[in-house]
Amino acid sequence: SPVIVWLRRDLRLSDQPAIAEAARKGPVIPVYILDDETPRHRAMGAASRWWLHHSLDKLGAALNDKGSRLILRRGRADEVLAQLAEETGAQEVHALHHYEPWWRNAEKAVGKTLTLCLHHGNYLAPPGSVTTGSGGLYKIYTPFWRALRERMPPHEPERRPQKIAAPARWPASDTLSEWGLLPKKPDWADGLRDMWEPGEEGARKRLRAFVEEASAYEGQRNLPGVEGTSMLSPHLHFGEVSPAQVWQAVADAGGSVATFLGELGWRDYAQNVILQYPDYAGRYARDPFGDFPWRRSRRDLEAWKQGRTGYPIVDAGMRQLWHTGWMHNRVRMIAASFLIKHLLIDWREGEQWFWDTLVDADYGNNAVNWQWTAGSGVDANMFVRIMAPLTQSEKFDAAAYIREWVPELADLSDADIHDPPPGKRPKGYPEKLIEHRDARERALSAWQQAKAEQ
């Protein structure tokens, strides 16, 4: 009888152990299930859906080349798999491990009726396997990374299978277009199309291009105006490339790549955190954040989302996000910190917006980084260390970046563009929502108040 491969965020054929193992056993039925029920309010956001559409399209074509197909079904994953098994006589399901809490629940449910074989492959080491001397999981990144680093390099990536045998009869499949994953009117995806090529081939191209420049990463990674980072995040999120493949390609390139590998380690660390705190995107890990006097200002939140805060670096980042589904890491930190500390808005509002607009929106990475920025995480920056956006903008040379994303400021000089002086603020560009010094005082006194009430 055929074996089902249940695909989720692992949309590749090479170094994909669920596909490889199933292909060794006999006929394979690869299935992707669009499941908005299991994750509930964590169903994929709009930018991720755009990506998913294209990634599935590419994966379907790659499977066709191997004589196989991609079966598309919609519904609750455990129910759909049980139904598919009944239709096809399959009893075994192969899949990669996923650590989002809803997927872990779904895996339990599937395991009750079918033989579910879970493989490791989307992380450098299986999350949960990197343990302290006493066998517990790490809370803090640095010792986690030290322990993970000792176990590296990861496994040797496996090539795509030569052949994937087809079942005697294919089960029915939905079509991608009927899923409606692409934006309807208005079509906001122009910027995404210009910038990205979802799918395994697109991931391979990005990786190849990055490897050429990898030794410059350390010097350039903080400069938003330079394409100094790999831009692999959506490809890694959707599993179009495995971290073992990235590791191998980058390490083989030689040069100083330790910083880059350490960033890749953050990805594993985030999974290690959500294993311990499954509701990390909704709950503070530390006091006094439970009773924090957040402001509820719809006006300020909207200005932040739209890139109209009056702080050019923040606005440039938020507009880059809206147009391309991605934001430079340094600017993510500045924009997130601005929402939390300058506007005193609960970081969960920002986390949600990123969830909807990022093409790399990732439950673990997003929550860990938001909690890190807020100072509420298990490993976190201190709340009282308040980033000064204007200083950051100058320090990391963001003038060209601002010109690109906030074109109404393009004519300002390098000296003026980070903080346009009153007389030079073009008409139509907003005043600052709040002065940095006032924001700082307000944030510190909110912190004192929260601590006093603890």
Sites of contact with ligand FAD (CB under 6 A): 221, 229-233, 236-237, 263-264, 266-267, 270, 329, 332-333, 336, 354, 358, 360-362, 365-366, 369-370, 373
Query: Residue 372 CB, nearest distance to ligand FAD (Å)?
Result: 7
Q: Is 372 a catalytic residue?
A: no
Query: Residue 106 CB, nearest distance to ligand FAD (Å)?
Result: 21
HSE-CB of 174 using CA atoms within 13 angstroms? 19
Q: Is 6 helix (H, G, I), strand (E, B) or coil?
A: strand
Instruction: Give the active site residue among 37, 179, 188, 266.
Output: 266
Instruction: Give the active site residue among 201, 213, 218, 263.
Output: 263
Instruction: Give the active site residue among 294, 394, 404, 408.
Output: 294
Q: Is 266 a catalytic residue?
A: yes
The answer to whether the annotation marks 376 as part of a ligand binding site is no
Beta bridge partners of 33: 73
Q: Is 370 a catalytic residue?
A: yes
Q: Which is nearer to ligand FAD, 38 or 366 (CB)?
A: 366
Angle 429-302-236 (CA atoms, 0-180°, nearest 5)?
100
> Who's near 395: CB < 8 A, 6+ residues apart?
none
Query: Residue 432 CB, nearest distance to ligand FAD (Å)?
Result: 21
Query: Residue 351 CB, nearest distance to ligand FAD (Å)?
Result: 8
Q: Which is nearer to ligand FAD, 71 or 361 (CB)?
A: 361
Q: Which is nearer to ligand FAD, 85 or 231 (CB)?
A: 231
Alpha helices in 325-357 (DSSP H): 329-337, 347-357
Q: Which is nearer to ligand FAD, 68 or 271 (CB)?
A: 271
Query: Residue 300 CB, nearest distance to ligand FAD (Å)?
Result: 17
Q: Which is nearer to ligand FAD, 88 or 371 (CB)?
A: 371
> How long is the chain?
454
Q: Is 381 a catalytic residue?
A: no
Q: Is 404 a catalytic residue?
A: no
Cis peptide upstream of residue 27 (ω within 30 degrees of 0): no
Q: Which two tokens stand for residue 4?
A: 């089902």
Q: Which two tokens stand for residue 263?
A: 């960033």
- Locate tokens 């890990």: which residue? 285
Q: Is 263 a catalytic residue?
A: yes
> Who's near 42: CB < 8 A, 6+ residues apart?
100, 102, 281, 355, 363
- What is the residue type of 27? P
Q: Which two tokens stand for residue 346?
A: 């609960």
- What is the residue type of 112? K
**Binding site membership for FAD: which residues?**
217, 229-233, 260, 360-362
**Binding site membership: which residues?**
217, 229-233, 260, 360-362
Q: Which residues are catalytic?
A: 263, 266, 294, 329, 347, 370
